Amino acid sequence: MRTRLICANWKMHLDRASITTYLEKLNDGFVSGDGFEVGLFAPSVYLSQMPGPLGDKVIWGAQNFYPEDKGAFTGEISLPMLKDISCPAVLVGHSERRGVFNESDELIALKMNKALNDGFKVVFCCGEALEIREKGGDAAFVRAQLDSAFAETDPEHLDRLSIAYEPIWAIGTGVTAEPGDAQAMSAEIRCWLKERFGDQIAEKMRILYGGSVKPGNIAEIMSGPDVDGSLVGGDSLDAGSFLEIIRNSL
Ligand code: PGA
C-alpha cells in the first residue's frame, strides 16, 4: 500500500504574513494519519519561514533551483543553499518551468539527477499539451519525457521520488482531466517504471495527478488505483480549501 502524498504548489503567490497565517491554520486543522503525507512548495524567498508550527508533519520544498553548487548564475539558488536552510524537497520539470522559462529536457535531467544524488526528495512533473492529446500522442509524449529525465538515474535513489502527471491543458484552466484519464496515464507511467526499473520500484512509486484539483473533484480523481496523490496549485492557496482537499483525499 502506497502512502498518499498531497502537495501544494503555491507558485508565485502569497507573502510573508499570509504564509504565517496559512501555516497556523493548516496546523490547527491538520489531520494526522499514517496513510498519507503532505507537501508544501513555497516561493524560495519564503522558504526560511517553512515549515513553521507544522514541524515534521509536512514535507516542504523549493519550486526551483539551478543544478550547480555555486558560481556566476545571477538570480539562481543552489541545492547547497537549500540544504543550508534544511529544505528537504524540490519540484523538477513543472510545465511552467519548461514552457515559460524554456527549461530543456537536458536541463531537467541534470536537475533531476543532481537533486536525487544530493539527497533531496523530488516531485518530478510531466504532462502533455492539448494538441498532443488530441492527436493521440499523449502516452508517447509522457514516456519520452520520462526516458529523457531518468536516462542516467541511479535506481537506489528512487525511494525519494514521486512523479506528478500534470496535463498542461488542465493546469490553472478549471478543466480537470476525467478521473479515467488521470488513472489511464498513471497506469501508463507505472508501466514505464516497470519496464525501466522493474516491478518493485514501479509498485512503490507514488504517482500524483495535478491540474485544477479542487475539494470537489479530488475524491473521484484519487479513486483510480494508480493515482496516489495530487499536486495542487490554485486551490492550495487558501489553507481551508487545501485542508478540505487533504481530507477528501483520504
Ligand atoms: P492548478 O495547478 O491546480 O492551479 O491547476 C497545478 C500545478 O501547476 O501544479
Residues 6+ apart with CB under 8 A from 104: none
Closest CA to 91 of 154, 44, 165, 41: 41
Residue type, 230: S
pLDDT tens-digit readout, 68-101: 999 999 999 999 999 999 999 999 999 999 999 9
| Smallest CA separation from ligand 1 atom 6, residue | 233
Ranking 4-18, 51-65, 171-185, 220-234 by mean pLDDT, the lowest is 171-185
Q: To the nearest 10°, the Cα dihedral for 98, 99, 101, 103? A: 30
Q: Give the span between the Cα atoms of 153 and 147, in whole angstroms.
A: 10
Binned at pLDDT 50, 70 and 90, residue 218 comes out as very high
Please tell me the pTM assigned to this model.
0.97
Is residue 244 annotated as part of the catalytic site, yes or no?
Answer: no
Question: What was the pLDDT predicted at 33?
Answer: 74
Q: How far is the CA of 160 from the centre of ligand 1 (A)?
A: 22
Q: pLDDT > 70: what percent of the chain?
A: 100
The single residue of 37, 96, 103, 166 carrying the catalytic annotation is 166
Peptide bond into 53 cis (omega under 30): no
| Smallest CA separation from ligand 1 atom 7, residue | 233
Question: What was the pLDDT predicted at 175?
Answer: 84
Question: What was the pLDDT predicted at 139?
Answer: 97
Q: How far is the CA of 230 from the centre of ligand 1 (A)?
A: 9
Give all domains of the chain, ordered by start, each with its CATH number.
4-249 (3.20.20.70)
Q: Average pLDDT for residues 125-129, to the nearest whole number?
A: 97
Please give the DSSP secondary-structure letter assigned to residue 139.
H
pLDDT tens-digit readout, 38-57: 999 999 999 999 999 999 99
Distances (CA, A) of 200 to 1, 37, 131: 12, 21, 34
Count of Cβ atoms closer than 10 Å to residue 212 Cβ: 21
pLDDT tens-digit readout, 140-179: 999 999 999 999 999 999 999 999 999 999 988 888 888 8
Q: Give the span between the Cα atoms of 72 and 177, in whole angstroms.
A: 41
Q: Give the span between the Cα atoms of 148 and 225, in whole angstroms.
A: 26
Is residue 166 annotated as part of the catalytic site, yes or no?
Answer: yes
Strands of 20-128 (E only): list them.
36-42, 58-62, 89-92, 121-126
